[in-house]
Structure 1
């Protein structure tokens, strides 16, 4: 009876640990891709304000063109700096939460191994074993 419960608990911990690790890997990959895209965009937005307008470009049309280029540069710069950084911070926050969950699962695994040791000792420690099993079942299921 207790051995079956422990097998289920070990299986649940293992399954959740795999799920959490996979989520962390996917989020870290997404964060790297966003960082790469951000770096590419930083190089590209410089093209918006180049070449510098020579002295021969004067008048209302030149001013309007320069204003449009400046506005486009500011908008793209805001996106590249603020939005991309925000995405990366949100991803990092989720990674941190998943790492906390991973640590908790590791602690649950340690408790489960303690319960295994108690099960091997037999009836003398059955109350301790049942207490640990109840705790683990409440936390996992």
Structure 2
């Protein structure tokens, strides 16, 4: 039983570490996204409406507009996609964490049965077999 408790504890610790790292990455992406939102407005500055005219001015404005659109797509779509993927992985890890918690409950029940002696040995073997099959 000690081996089972140790394995459950180790797996739970690993899952928690992964969740923490993913949450940190998500926060960093959000911070970067917010910083980019502040910077993107600078692409359109200064306004050159009456200052520049002609083909070179139009080419410059087109290039500036293309840069703005590309940055906007990255900031709004790509960063949001990254955050959604991370959130999905966090959800899956939380499900795994709940399964580990359920296995921990079963392990505790097995400990209780073990304390009752030979009268419940069949029940104990069944629970231990289930846990070993699930963990290993």
- TM-score exceeds 0.5: yes
Secondary structure of 1:74's match? helix
User: 2: distance between equivalents of 1:117 and 1:8?
Assistant: 16
* Structure 1 gap segments, 5+ residues each: 1-5
Deviations 1:46-80 (A, max 9, x none): 10011111313111111110000000000011011
TM-score (structure 1 length as normaliser): 0.95
**How many angstroms does 1:85 deviate by?**
0.6
TM-score (structure 2 length as normaliser): 0.98
* Cα-Cα RMSD: 0.6
- Whether 1:58 aligns to 2:53 is yes
Structure 1 residue runs of 4+, over 3 Å off? none
Which of 93, 100, 104 lines up with 1:98 in the alignment?
93
Secondary structure of 1:114's match? helix
Deviations 1:69-100 (A, max 9, x none): 00000001101111111110110010000000
Which of 15, 21, 25 lines up with 1:26 in the alignment?
21
User: 1: distance between equivalents of 2:135 and 2:112?
Assistant: 20
User: 2: distance between equivalents of 1:136 and 1:32?
Assistant: 36
Aligned residues: 136
Deviations 1:110-133 (A, max 9, x none): 000000000000000000000000
Which of 5, 26, 34 lines up with 1:10 in the alignment?
5
Q: Residue 3 of structure 1 corresponds to which residue in structure 2?
A: none
- Whether 1:124 aligns to 2:119 is yes
Which of 83, 102, 105 lines up with 1:110 in the alignment?
105
User: 2: distance between equivalents of 1:50 and 1:78?
Assistant: 19
* Structure 2 gap segments, 5+ residues each: none
